[in-house]
Amino acid sequence: MKFKISSHKEPKHTGVVVCVCWNNTEDVFSCGDDHKLLKWNLVNNECLPVTTFPDDFYPTSMHLFPKTSLGGSKHQHDVILISTADGKFHIVNHNGRIEKSVTAHEGACLTAKWSPDGAGLLTAGEDGFVKIWSRNGLLRSTLVQSDVPCFDAVWSPDSNAILHTKENFLVIKHLSSSSKIVKWKAHDGLILCTAWNANNNLVVSGAEDGFTKIWDTFGQQISVSVKHDQPITSVSWSPAGDMFVAGSFNLTRLCNANGWSYCLDRPSTGSIYDIAWSMDGTQLAAACANGHVIFAHIIDREYTWKNYSCTQIGRKVISIKDIVSEENDQLDYPDRVIQISLGFNHLVVATVKQCFIHKLSSWNTPVTFDLKEGTVSMILLSERCLCVVERAGISVYSYMGRLLASPRCGGRSETLGKSSVSLGPDTLAVVDQTDRKLIHVFDLPTGLIVRSSTDSTVTKLNHKMTVSTIALSQTGPINDRQMALLDYNKDLYVVSVKDVKPKFVKLGSQVLSVVWSSETELLVGLRANAIVAWCCPRAVQLDWLVLTTVSKEVTDLGRNPCILSEEDGIVRICKGNGSVVHISIAAFQEKLLKYVSTNMWQDALQLCRTVEDETLWACLAVLAWQHHQLPVAEEAFALIRQYHQVCYIQHLRSNVPEKLSAS
């Protein structure tokens, strides 16, 4: 993954560019010390002056009113908030007319930001004050008073707290003053910039000591970057929260959320004062000290699935390769590619306007459909359908490009992370964004009858803890659909979503990441130093669960490892340092599960007899018992020395044969 950087030949600003922000996916505003507000269009590569402010107007930061899909009157959109060096903040409409100017601070007003819900704004100044204002510019409260300048302040994603810098310290303060503040020493130098991501709830900070550091909201350090020679002047999270970019003198660096670096660029631009990501997370704009505004988009994203690999090699070009047959091809698109997803024998590509579904067996004839809005943040695939998460909402399509459902889950869908949505072949599960203990499970229409979105049945599951990750099983009939969930205590639970009274069965604790096999009902979890495979997560008895669980030790996984996928007994794990590890676990068990799912009991028995593995026999025993295959279960239970079960089965077979044959 790397940046492709572009800029106009001549600088359009005559002085330092101080701030940039995105209007929509193709439009950027920039403002600099030449008092000009410029609007850049990336499609036709234009740069138009919007307005020229008075001569004493020296901007320090700029923020566009957050675009929420729900509520909010239309005229409130496109309202630009600009803070200036004379201590004022200005509310400017998108034509460049100053609607309101409010004196906020003594000395310069260093930053001004709308709250994510759009209800208010904060300003921070050289006088060390952080103030909260209503949307119309009336002072609500002075939240922070100190004697040192506050260089940066940001809202928490839920708008209930703010994070501000205080020399070397970062401070989180809740708006309700009763709750205590969290304050920690973050750097050895003055902290210049911070950012807080809504998706992963992590904070990144950059300081004069040349480090960028990632923190959780309790002030624990997640990772630290390498030392840069120059102070870090800007940081920005990508909207999805999977990476961030840091700007410094003549330098931009793209890093993973775990802190390791994807790429380093050295454009000769002077210091980069501000960096902003586009809403779709594929492009960014940076304000440079030499009067340039540079644009970068991410290319070289790589995706692999089985024997296919595809790479985005340009803004509109994807190269795809079949490694086995050595067939390769370049796919050109009419618009910029935003999201790519590869899996389940399909390649799905979302561009600004359309979505292309390529079948991997014949990738030159894609099915296309139009998108509602050009801000696709995620594409999920399953065996029968695909799910597109846009700012306008979630939509589920079939692979023929037909809209199956557009479930409403409330909340803003652009803050949905990968871990809080899961798509099964016939179900979609979403964690509620406001109450994270609640999970909505939507039944998707299968077959040929398309139902309207209103009568798609919704099941609500309520967990006792805040849910961090959910995953739906990928195979089996809908009545057996299971969901694995991880809560904030890192406990793993499994629940059958179609049960009348859903019961959360705890499978284990200290599980960091979890994934279902895409072809069987094998659940794989990752602990700090081991991989665990639950072959029969639906086994209700605890001893059966223990017998059918395979565990394998793995060392030095680093911080925050996660499982990427599981296929044919091979688990792909992304380690903390970014390297992908392939580990074989439960290959025979998965084979067995495949036999069982197609009712090939003789082959299953044959496999067990050949391999002679205790866990494998236990799996077969439990599965045969669940599927009422008593002769098979009898043999299997005998081999794992569960003699009471053998006796029970023999009793059943001899005493109630008529019922058995009926079933």
Partner 1 sequence: MAEELQKVHLFYDDINKIKVLEENVLKDTEDLRDTCKEYENKVQNFEKIISSLLDLIKDLGDNVENKKMAAIGAMNLLKSIAKDKESEQLKLQAEINDKTSLLEQIDSEYDTLQILEATQMETIEYLTQLR
1: contact with partner 1 by CB under 8 A: no
Burial class (CB in 10 A: 0-12, 13-18, 19+), 242: middle
DSSP calls for 355-416? EEEEETTEEEEEEEEE-SSS-EEEEEE-SSEEEEEETTEEEEEETTS-EEE-----S-GGG-
- Which of the stretches 109-117, 151-159, 255-263, 634-642 binds partner 1 when contact is defined by CB under 8 A? 255-263
Selected binder of partner 1 within 400, 542, 580, 647 (CB under 8 A): 580
76: contact with partner 1 by CB under 8 A: no
Instruction: Report the sign of the C-alpha dihedral through residues 401, 407, 413, 419, in that order.
Output: negative
- Which of the stretches 130-138, 308-316, 356-364, 569-577 binds partner 1 when contact is defined by CB under 8 A? 569-577
Rounded CA separation 164/171 (Å): 5
- Residues 6 or more apart in contact with residue 127 via CB below 8 angstroms: 105, 106, 107, 149
Burial pattern 333-363, b for ≥16 Cβ within 10 A else e, equals beebbbbbbbbbebbbbbbbebbbbbebeeb
- Which of the stretches 164-172, 491-499, 516-524, 573-581 binds partner 1 when contact is defined by CB under 8 A? 573-581
- Which of the stretches 7-15, 453-461, 511-519, 570-578 binds partner 1 when contact is defined by CB under 8 A? 570-578
- Which of the stretches 184-192, 193-201, 519-527, 574-582 binds partner 1 when contact is defined by CB under 8 A? 574-582
By the 8 A CB rule, do 381 and 389 touch? no
Q: Which is nearer to partner 1, 236 or 248 (CB)?
A: 248
Selected binder of partner 1 within 51, 309, 354, 577 (CB under 8 A): 577
Selected binder of partner 1 within 587, 600, 638, 652 (CB under 8 A): 587
224: contact with partner 1 by CB under 8 A: no
579: contact with partner 1 by CB under 8 A: yes
Selected binder of partner 1 within 67, 527, 575, 594 (CB under 8 A): 575
411: contact with partner 1 by CB under 8 A: no
Packing angle of the helix pair 643-655, 630-639 (nearest 10 deg): 160
How many angstroms separate the Cα of 33 from the Cα of each of 90, 108, 289, 290, 331? 15, 14, 10, 11, 43
Nearest-approach distance from CB 607 to partner 1, in angstroms: 10
261: contact with partner 1 by CB under 8 A: yes
Q: Which is nearer to partner 1, 45 or 584 (CB)?
A: 584
Instruction: Report the sign of the C-alpha dihedral through residues 278, 563, 436, 452, in that order.
Output: positive
Site string for partner 1, 431-460 (x = CB under 8 A): ------------------------------
Nearest-approach distance from CB 225 to partner 1, in angstroms: 11
Please count the residues of this chain forming the interface with partner 1, following the rule CB under 8 A. 19
Instruction: Report the sign of the C-alpha dihedral through residues 193, 198, 203, 204, in that order.
Output: negative
Q: How many CB atoms lie within 10 A of CB 508?
A: 17
Site string for partner 1, 262-301 (x = CB under 8 A): -xx-x-----------------------------------
Rounded CA separation 550/504 (Å): 21
Residue of 612, 601, 604, 613 lying closest to 550 (CA atoms): 613
Selected binder of partner 1 within 226, 400, 540, 660 (CB under 8 A): 226
Selected binder of partner 1 within 367, 465, 581, 638 (CB under 8 A): 581
Q: Which long-range contacts (CB under 8 A, 24 or more apart) does 297-303 make?
A: 297/3, 297/4, 297/336, 298/1, 298/2, 298/3, 298/4, 298/254, 299/1, 299/2, 299/3, 299/4, 300/1, 300/2, 301/1, 301/340, 302/1, 303/340, 303/341, 303/342
Q: Which is nearer to partner 1, 584 or 655 (CB)?
A: 584
Site string for partner 1, 591-630 (x = CB under 8 A): -------------------x--------------------
Selected binder of partner 1 within 229, 326, 455, 658 (CB under 8 A): 229
578: contact with partner 1 by CB under 8 A: yes
Q: Which is nearer to partner 1, 226 or 528 (CB)?
A: 226
249: contact with partner 1 by CB under 8 A: no
By the 8 A CB rule, do 636 and 645 touch? no
Selected binder of partner 1 within 85, 570, 638, 652 (CB under 8 A): 570
583: contact with partner 1 by CB under 8 A: yes
Selected binder of partner 1 within 66, 77, 137, 260 (CB under 8 A): 260
CA dihedral 416, 419, 423, 429 (to 10 degrees): -70
Question: Which residues make up the interface to partner 1 (CB under 8 A)?
Answer: 226, 229, 260-261, 263-264, 266, 570, 575, 577-584, 587, 610
